[in-house]
Structure 1
Amino acid sequence: MAQLDSAGADWLLARARQHRLSPTQRQVVQRMLGMFPGVAFMSTVEIAEQTGVSQPTVTRLATALGFAGFPEFRSALRDAVLTEVPGLAAAPKAEAVDQELANLESLKRELGDDRMREAVRLLAGTAPLGVLGLRASAALAGYFGYFARRVLPAVTVCTDAGTVDDSILELHEQGAGALLAFAMPRYPAGTVAALRLARRLGMATVVVTDTALAPFAADADVLLAAPVGTGLVFDSHAAAVVLAISLLDAVAATDPGRTQRRLEAHESLVDGWVFG
């Protein structure tokens, strides 16, 4: 095995020696040993990409090491990493902020990519604009939709898995040419089904998710990646929020006259509902 330089790597090596692993699983462990401390904050998709195996192989490794699943394994791995720096375990929020800063840095490339320009073209060219977000992604869809209604003439937000098919059909009947979907882990099956339905109806799909290697990437005409922060109990979506509002800003800029008129109309109502 490789020379170790972290308590996390020591912990993983000891754990691997306590269990019977397949040759492929041992190879994954070997490669993970050189990826500390960052590996403790990666998703199964990211580890699979970095180690050259499939996502299910990473999931099965967690089980082979004695854990109920990958989330339990990652939690234990993080605990091992956090114990190697005095005071870090007592202040995990600082680690989470550092990870979000790295996520935002990586987002710079996404904002200037051709995929971003194509997403803007598709979303600016559809009326109405449908915005989809189920389960953990519902807040992102609601956030985007709330502000999109300030600058676009027709916006429909769907966050109810029970009515998503009806919403897609209604959007199609109203002439929508594109759908914007937020799909953060864990990926809801209803979101993937909605994307496939939209494409069968002839609508383009723009998807904001956490990685370009999402298992449903083939169901997106344009896929925009906004890495999630995994350093806390629940994932944080700082990069996704920045991507969402940047996307809306670019769509609004395609028709500056309309945007200005709608914003001024909105401002005329502010005094009636703002307190103080």
Structure 2
Amino acid sequence: MAPEDWLVNLAQQHRLSPTQRQVVQRMLGMFPEVAFLSTIEIAELAGVSQPTVTRLATALGFAGFPEFRSALREAVLAVVPAPRTPPRRSPVAAISAIDQECANLGSLRREVGGDRMAAAVRLLAGSAPLGVVGLRASAALADYFGYFAQRILPAVVTCTDAATVADTVLQLHQQGAGALLVFAMPRYPAATVSALRLARRFGMSTVVVADSGLVPFAGEADVLLTAPVGAGLVFDSHAAAVVLSITLLDAIAATDPQRTQQRLEAHESLIDTWIHDA
């Protein structure tokens, strides 16, 4: 195994912060010299502080930087590197991240065909209006789902603002909503968990899309759907969550084919007013 692959595999086994992932990315472009550099030298080359490099070693499971550097040296000395000019950014991490996403997408086969998916569809399809919540890193997922959900459902309310999420849940309850769909990707905002608890207090069913079935707030969900995140790059990749979202929406549309057809045709009649036709 190439030493770069060793570092990438090690990083993928631990939950690193975006800053720590950036340091790993920079280190991939420093091989093999990186195994013989000090924390100060790595910090300067990576454009971060020395404590950040030290914390990275701990986050990777080592007692400290000296132990991490020893393991790094062993990985480098285990192979004879071919002469080369170190790239500014190694493609190893990107390729590995794509492989990880393929595995994440493969895991969705069990999820979309299981009982939890069927239960989620029943709850969400029967709610009018349907509430969709996604805060911080999950905001884009909520907006994505909500944008297309409006094409097939009569009433959809999307909230991506932590400051107003409690008000939104209250209003949904007052409007007769029976279910709330919540996207909860790491790092999990406290406001997301508060919204889940508030919805359950109001008697609303909750469907949660998270990266793991072991999230600490799993008990707040009536249905928990899992979509693993890709953690091989600086920021998490939500490819699996996007596929799960659109699959969930497709299943909801199938619960009332006539309504879906009518609403899609009505939307189609508006396309000529906004689409760009070169």
**Distance (Å, rounded) in 1 between the aligned partners of 2:94 and 2:234:** 10
What's the C-alpha RMSD, in Å, of the aligned pairs? 3.1
Match of 2:11 among 40, 43, 46: 40
The answer to whether the aligner puts 1:90 opposite 2:61 as a matched pair is no
Q: CA, structure 1 residues 82+162, in 2 after alignment: closer, same or farther (shift >3 Å)?
A: farther
Partner-residue secondary structure (3-state), 2:55 = coil
1:43 positional shift = 4.7
Q: How many residues align?
A: 225
Unaligned runs of 5+ in 1: 12-36, 45-65
Residue equivalent to 2:247: 246
Is the CA contact (8 Å cut-off) linking 2:6 and 2:75 kept in structure 1?
A: no
1:70 positional shift = 8.6
Query: After the TM superposition, which residues 117-128 of structure 1 pair with which residues of structure 2 at under 5 Å, given as runs?
Result: 117-128=118-129
Q: CA, structure 1 residues 10+148, in 2 after alignment: closer, same or farther (shift >3 Å)?
A: closer
**Distance (Å, rounded) in 2 between the aligned partners of 1:204 and 1:121:** 11
Residue equivalent to 1:108: 109
Q: CA, structure 1 residues 127+71, in 2 after alignment: closer, same or farther (shift >3 Å)?
A: farther
Partner-residue secondary structure (3-state), 1:162 = coil
The answer to whether the aligner puts 1:141 opposite 2:142 as a matched pair is yes
Q: CA, structure 1 residues 170+98, in 2 after alignment: closer, same or farther (shift >3 Å)?
A: same
Residue equivalent to 2:165: 164
Residue equivalent to 1:220: 221
Q: CA, structure 1 residues 220+273, in 2 after alignment: closer, same or farther (shift >3 Å)?
A: same
1:42 positional shift = 3.4
Taking structure 1 as the reference length, the TM-score comes to 0.74
**Distance (Å, rounded) in 1 between the aligned partners of 2:178 and 2:185:** 23
Q: CA, structure 1 residues 82+103, in 2 after alignment: closer, same or farther (shift >3 Å)?
A: farther
**Distance (Å, rounded) in 2 between the aligned partners of 1:229 and 1:165:** 30
Is the CA contact (8 Å cut-off) linking 2:14 and 2:59 kept in structure 1?
A: no
Q: CA, structure 1 residues 69+221, in 2 after alignment: closer, same or farther (shift >3 Å)?
A: farther
1:40 positional shift = 2.9
Partner-residue secondary structure (3-state), 2:181 = strand
**Distance (Å, rounded) in 1 between the aligned partners of 2:94 and 2:173:** 44
**Distance (Å, rounded) in 2 between the aligned partners of 1:237 and 1:69:** 23
1:68 positional shift = 3.1
Partner-residue secondary structure (3-state), 2:225 = strand
Is the CA contact (8 Å cut-off) linking 2:14 and 2:60 kept in structure 1?
A: no
Unaligned runs of 5+ in 2: 16-52
Partner-residue secondary structure (3-state), 1:245 = helix
Name the amino acid aligned to 1:135: R
Q: Over residues 143-173 of structure 1, what are the superposed CA-to-partner deviations in whole Å (9 max), with x where a residue is unaligned?
A: 0000000000000000000000000000000
The answer to whether the aligner puts 1:73 opposite 2:74 as a matched pair is no
Query: Per chain length, whose mean CA-contact separation is higher, i.e. which structure has more relative contact order (CA < 8 Å, sep 6+)?
Result: 2
Partner-residue secondary structure (3-state), 1:195 = helix
1:98 positional shift = 0.5
Q: CA, structure 1 residues 267+82, in 2 after alignment: closer, same or farther (shift >3 Å)?
A: farther
**Distance (Å, rounded) in 2 between the aligned partners of 1:260 and 1:38:** 47
Q: Higher Cα Rg: structure 1 or 2? A: 2
The answer to whether the aligner puts 1:129 opposite 2:116 as a matched pair is no
Name the amino acid aligned to 1:177: G
Q: CA, structure 1 residues 159+7, in 2 after alignment: closer, same or farther (shift >3 Å)?
A: same
Residue equivalent to 1:187: 188
1:7 positional shift = 5.0
Name the amino acid aligned to 1:161: A
Moved over 6 A (4+): 8-11, 81-89
Residue equivalent to 1:198: 199
- Determine what percentage of the aligned residue pairs are the same residue: 62
Taking structure 2 as the reference length, the TM-score comes to 0.73
Q: CA, structure 1 residues 114+268, in 2 after alignment: closer, same or farther (shift >3 Å)?
A: same
Q: CA, structure 1 residues 38+174, in 2 after alignment: closer, same or farther (shift >3 Å)?
A: same
Residue equivalent to 2:258: 257
Is the CA contact (8 Å cut-off) linking 1:42 and 1:230 kept in structure 2?
A: no
